[in-house]
Amino acid sequence: MKPDTVAAKAQSACSAQCIQAKFPAMAKAGFYDQVKQFFSGIFNTDNWPPRWHCGTWSEFHGWLYIFSDLLIAVSYFAIPLLLIVLLTKRKDIPFPRILWLFVAFIILCGCTHLIDAGIFWWPAYRLSALLRLITGIVSVMAVYTLYRIMPVVLSLRTVEQLEKEINERKVAEDKLAASEFLLMEAGRMGKFGGWELDLITDKVTWSKAIYDIHELPYDFDLSFYDATSYYPQPYYNAIINAINECKKSGKGYDLELQIITAKKNKIWVRTYGEPLFDGQGQPFKLRGVFMDIDKYKLNEISLNKTVEMVTQNNQQLKNFTHILSHNIRNHASNISLVSSLVDEEALDEDTADLFSKIKRISVSLNTTLDDLSQAIKIKDEALESETLHFKTVLDHILGVIGSDMAIHRVTIHEDFAVETIRFPGIYMESILMNLVSNAIKYRRDDIEPQIELKTYKDKNGATVLECTDNGLGIDLKLHAKKVFGLYKTFHDRKDAHGVGLFLTKTQVESQGGKITVESEPNKGSTFKIIFNEEN
């Protein structure tokens, strides 16, 4: 088509037909007639020329317009096609209704561009107007729907937030997996696991460790596993009563029972359970722990039998000791009594000498029996502790041995930082008496005796009584293991019997305490008594 021909026809059509004929005729008709005429002639193109003939179009300008509209229309048709494929393939796409609305809107937009390109040959302006109206309505609906869901869309997490959450969840899952692995390994090694009982459905759930304890495969159907088959009497009644009481009162239970495994092995287990409550406060589940304690229970039973046997043997030994002591004391008393009836002056010299030796042996035997009896009595009797003042007990002792101290010019230094102690009074007097008497007895002749008595708290918070002297001392390299032995003496003195320290140690240990010694020859000794007031 030539440009001059197009221009001429356009001038003729637009001026004569469009202005003079069209507008005056429509102006004379009413609105209803206009609407009726519009829809009755929706496809009528008699009143308009093709767009090539309306205005001044060059070929380049016209085809550029047409090509652009077609390109836009093709894109508009392709976009909804892809959206339809996406919506049909993915049912979990959010906001599907708005997407379908956009599909309709984009298709209508494509249709307006397509018909706009066709008007260059087919001037269907009425159809184009109707199509644009429909497109406008759909576009308004899309805008309104998008406005309604905009707060929801804005509340959605961003890609960065989702990536961060995914990473955090992955880290949490890794930690959870590691914790689960450690828990399963701990359960496997420690032979304990968790269980759950649904009180509504009676469904039982076990962890793998409990299957191992029962020696069952992991895929075993627990609905076919009868409790009476692995809980022998009386343990079956005990567990049933515990579960019923737990349902009724809501209190948990903790039992040690015996079970028979699937391989007919009888083992000891410990089961612990507690209820879970619903919104109405009614228990609907029981949860707990199941543990294999067979090894420890058998050791406990064996230990109890051993303790019982030792206790029985100890009691028999004590009875034997008392009987032996009583019988020997009777014989010794008889010997002493017979000895007192003999008239030594009527004996000849040799017989008198022999009788004198027998008499000394009798006295020594009675003394030994008295010492042994006192030691046995200390171990057997449980004396009540009382609150004692160290100063008061010491003053009482000094009143007894004051003359002996004055003769030997003994000086006592007191430093009772801890003033009182919970201890049997008779034992405390005996302990202080033995410690002070030994310090005086085993004094050095070249210096005046010095005795230091002090009390304090050690690093563990225990009360310590310390007695230090400057006497002869003890060679601990030779006698360390004999210091507190019965009848053990370390100096050549006639009044040394080796009983005092033995009794002191026995009295201290009977109350859960401990006694130690530090000593060097000719440098004195230090005895430390660590009390156990909790005992």
Query: What contacts 24+ positions apart, CB below 8 Å, involve 181-186?
Result: 184/208, 184/209
Which of 160, 182, 179, 159 minimizes the C-alpha distance to 171?
179
Tens digit of each residue's pLDDT (9 = 90 or more) over 32-83 = 777 777 777 777 777 778 888 887 888 888 888 888 888 988 888 888 888 8
In 207-332 the beta strands, taken as DSSP E runs, fall at 253-260, 266-277, 283-292
Distance CA 452, CA 470 (A): 9
Q: List the strands of the sheet with 266-277, edge to edge.
A: 204-206, 192-198, 283-292, 266-277, 253-260
Check residue 320 and give its pLDDT: 57
Q: Enter the tokens of residue 286.
A: 């029981």
Tens digit of each residue's pLDDT (9 = 90 or more) over 355-383 = 676 766 666 566 656 655 655 555 555 56
Distance CA 332, CA 372 (A): 14
Q: Residues 189, 195, 196, CA angle at the centre, nearest 5°?
A: 165
**Residue 154 in 3-state DSSP?**
helix
Give strand pairing partners of 469.
451
DSSP structure string for 448-481? --EEEEEEEE-TTS-EEEEEEE-SS---HHHHTT
Distance CA 340, CA 332 (A): 12
Q: List the strands of the sheet with 450-457, edge to edge.
A: 411-416, 450-457, 463-469, 524-530, 514-520
Distance (Å) of CA 120 to CA 7, 49, 69, 126:
14, 9, 11, 14
Check residue 325 and give its pLDDT: 58
Q: Which residues of the chain have pLDDT under 70?
A: 1-29, 179-190, 224-225, 227-228, 313-347, 350, 355, 357, 359-383, 479-480, 485-499, 535
Distance CA 65, CA 63 (A): 5
Regarding beta strands 420-423 and 386-389, do their DSSP bridges make them parallel or antiparallel, or are they unpaired?
antiparallel
**Residue 14 in 3-state DSSP?**
helix
Check residue 417 and give its pLDDT: 92
Distance CA 291, CA 243 (A): 17
Distance CA 288, CA 352 (A): 87
Q: Which amino acid is at 335?
A: I
**Residue labelled with tokens 């759930």:** 205
Q: Which amino acid is at 474?
A: I
Residues in the chain: 535
Give strand pairing partners of 154.
none
- C-alpha R_g of the chain: 56
- What are the residue boundaries of the structural domains of the chain, listed by start? 3-155, 191-292, 300-379, 382-530
CB atoms within 10 A of CB 193: 21
| Backbone phi and psi for residue 492, each to the nearest 5 degrees, phi listed first | -85, 80
Distance CA 453, CA 467 (A): 5
Distance CA 50, CA 124 (A): 9
**Residue labelled with tokens 């002056």:** 345
Q: Enter the tokens of residue 165.
A: 């959450």
Regarding beta strands 450-457 and 411-416, do their DSSP bridges make them parallel or antiparallel, or are they unpaired?
parallel
Q: Enter the tokens of residue 397.
A: 């002792």
Give strand pairing partners of 287.
196, 274
Chain centroid offset of residue 200 CA? 30
C-alpha dihedral, 410 to 415 to 416 to 417, nearest 10°:
-170
DSSP state of 54: S
**Residue 379 in 3-state DSSP?**
helix
DSSP structure string for 98-131? HHHHHHHHHHHHHHHHHHHHHTTTS--HHHHHHH
Distance CA 499, CA 503 (A): 6
DSSP state of 16: I
Regarding beta strands 266-277 and 283-292, do their DSSP bridges make them parallel or antiparallel, or are they unpaired?
antiparallel
Query: What contacts 24+ positions apart, CB below 8 Å, involve 127-130?
Result: 127/42, 127/43, 129/38, 130/42
Give residues with Cβ within 8 angstroms of 498, minimum separation 6. 485, 486, 487, 488, 489
Check residue 327 and give its pLDDT: 58
State the CATH class of domain 382-530.
Answer: alpha beta
- Judge whether 97 and 63 are in contact, CB under 8 Å: no
Percent of the chain with pLDDT strictly greater than 90: 6
Instruction: Report the topology of domain 191-292.
Output: Beta-Lactamase (3.30.450)
- Judge whether 466 and 454 are in contact, CB under 8 Å: yes
